[in-house]
Structure formats: structure tokens, C-alpha cells
Amino acid sequence: MTQKLGERIIEAFLFISAVTAITTVALILIFLLREGLPILAKVGIVDFALGMRWNPIAMTGEPSYGIFPMIVGSFYVAIGSLIMAVPFGIACAVFLAEIAPEWARSILKHAIELLVGIPSVILGFVGLVLLVPYIRDHLGGWGFSILTCSIILAIMALPRIISISDDAIRAVPKDYKEASLALGATHWHTIKKVILPSARSGIVAGVILAMATSIGETMVVLMVAGNVSMLPSPIYDILDPVRPMTSNIVLEMNYATGEHTQALFATGVVLFIVVAILDAISNKVLKSRMGVER
């Protein structure tokens, strides 16, 4: 009887925790929509999301609320970080799961956990002091650029990619590996042709989650991205500065009033939707992997 009562208490606690988490997310979304919908209704969702000019404090004429350059900037730095982080992350995960001896795996695991614990403001400060001058002196541009921001975000994305990819690789049934080796395949061929394809869904989910984290990052992009609300010129110039959505909200919230405040909340709505879509895709990929394993 006592055991059943304890189980019911634990179940009730878990249920309350789940409801609290869902309610919190719902309240945040409701608050963002309440504050941001008026300006979206006035400007228009298409004009707001695809507008090229952001000038909320116009001295003459009507203010402009177009966040397309910021959306592009957010995806630029996020995709740039993944281009650098994914190859290193997957390679490290393969080494941890398939090659490293136990003592090396233990050391690397602790190092990865330590990397997770470094505050983003510290990484941003390192980028500001070291990377910005180096890129400015050796590659050109202002130093505050897509490339600088992508490098720091890649460092932040590595732990998530490594951890999830490592778990996905180690979850591949050992029978697959043993069957491949029994047929005469080498260890490297087995990793390439059997283990990695079998773990692909988990790896992709980790990459998508890392991208969502990079898009939602604030301090790093605020410190090293340059915060210029214009598209790079030319569009492929990674040495140009950008202003991602997160840094735009932080930079202008202190002095924003009226419609300007509403426009910043509407930017938060767009950011919330983008991250939610990426998380939903990641969960879908993980569920499809679980279904295949079953």
C-alpha cells in the first residue's frame, strides 16, 4: 500500500512538472502574440518578415519595420557555425564511440562537459579580443562579421553535436557491426557504411538542435556579429557584419516605445516560431529513428 502511494505521488509530481513546463511555454507565446500582433496587423506579416529596411525611429516619414536582413543574418551565422562544427563534431563522436580507449573517452567526455559549462559571454569576449582583430588584420573587413560569429557559435554547437551523435552511434545494435566485420569489412569501412548510416537520424537531430541553439543565441552575436541591419554586399561576403534577430531585440528594447516595442516583440514571435519549427523537425527525426529501431 505504501509503495503504491509513493508511486502515485511520483506520478502526480511528474504530471505537474510536465503541465508546468507546457503552461510556461504557452504563457510566453501568448505574451509575445499579445504584444506583437498589433504591429503585425498594421504592417502586414509579409511586409514585416520580408521588408528590407528597419528604421523604427524615423525623423521624417513613416517608420519602417522590415526584419528580412535580420532573419538572413540569423540563418547565416547559424549555418556558418554548422559548416564548421558538424564535421569536427561527428568525427569526435566517432572517435569517442568506436576508437578511443576508455581512459581517453573519460577525459574527452569531461572536457566536452566543461565546454558546455563555459558562459556564452566568456566565449564572446574571447572572440571580441582575439578573433575580431585577427580577422580584421589578416582577412580584411571590420572584424565584426558573419565569419567571426560563426566560429564562436561553432565552438558552442560542438558539445551538443558530439554528445547526441555519440549517443546515436553507441545505440546502433552491435549485431550490425559484428555482421559487417564477419563479412570481411574493415573497421573503417564498417563505420562509414554501416554505423554512421544507422545512426544518421540521431546525428541529424543533434545538428538541427545545434542550429536552433545557434539561432537563439544572444550574447555572442551581440558582441561579435557587428549589428548592422543590412544584407551583406555582396550577399555571400562572410566578412560583412550582420544583425541577427536576437541582438536586435537586446540592442533596442531599452529605449523602444509604442510601435517600436511591438515590433521587437513581433521579432520575438518570428524567432520563437523558427526555433519551434527546428525543434519539431528534430523530434520528428528522433521519432522516425525510434520507429526504425523497433
State pLDDT tens for residues 111-168: 887 888 888 888 889 899 999 999 998 888 888 999 999 999 999 899 889 988 988 8
Interatomic CA distance for residues 133 and 224, integer angstroms: 11
Q: Where are the beta strands (DSSP E) in the chain?
A: 54-55, 64-65
| Cell numbers representing residue 68 in the block | 528580412
Paired with 177 in beta bridges are none
pLDDT of residue 160: 87
Interatomic CA distance for residues 204 and 292, integer angstroms: 15
Residue of 37, 85, 43 whose CA lies nearest to 68: 43
pLDDT of residue 87: 92
| Segment 12-20 mean pLDDT | 89
Residue for grid cell 537586446: 250
How many beta carbons lie within 10 A of that of residue 142, not counting itself? 14
pLDDT of residue 267: 92
Q: pTM of the predicted model, to two decimals?
A: 0.86
Interatomic CA distance for residues 147 and 131, integer angstroms: 10
**CB neighbour list of residue 40: distance below 8 Å, 6 or more residues apart:** 48, 266, 269
Backbone dihedral region for residue 82 (phi beyond 0: left; psi -120 to 50: alpha; all else: beta):
alpha
Interatomic CA distance for residues 145 and 243, integer angstroms: 10
Q: How far is CA 195 from CA 35, 97, 123, 176, in A?
A: 48, 10, 34, 8
Q: Is the pLDDT of residue 192 over 60?
A: yes
Q: Three-state SS for 164?
A: helix
**Helices vs strands, H then E, count in the chain:** 14, 2
Interatomic CA distance for residues 52 and 291, integer angstroms: 43
| Segment 1-26 mean pLDDT | 84
pLDDT of residue 186: 86
pLDDT of residue 6: 76
Backbone dihedral region for residue 55 (phi beyond 0: left; psi -120 to 50: alpha; all else: beta):
beta
pLDDT of residue 266: 92
**Residues 82 and 210 sit within 8 Å (Cβ to Cβ):** yes
Q: Say which residue, 1 or 270, is predicted with more confidence.
A: 270
Q: Is the pLDDT of residue 245 over 80?
A: yes
How many beta carbons lie within 10 A of that of residue 99, not counting itself? 12
pLDDT of residue 86: 92
**Which amino acid belongs to residue 109?**
K
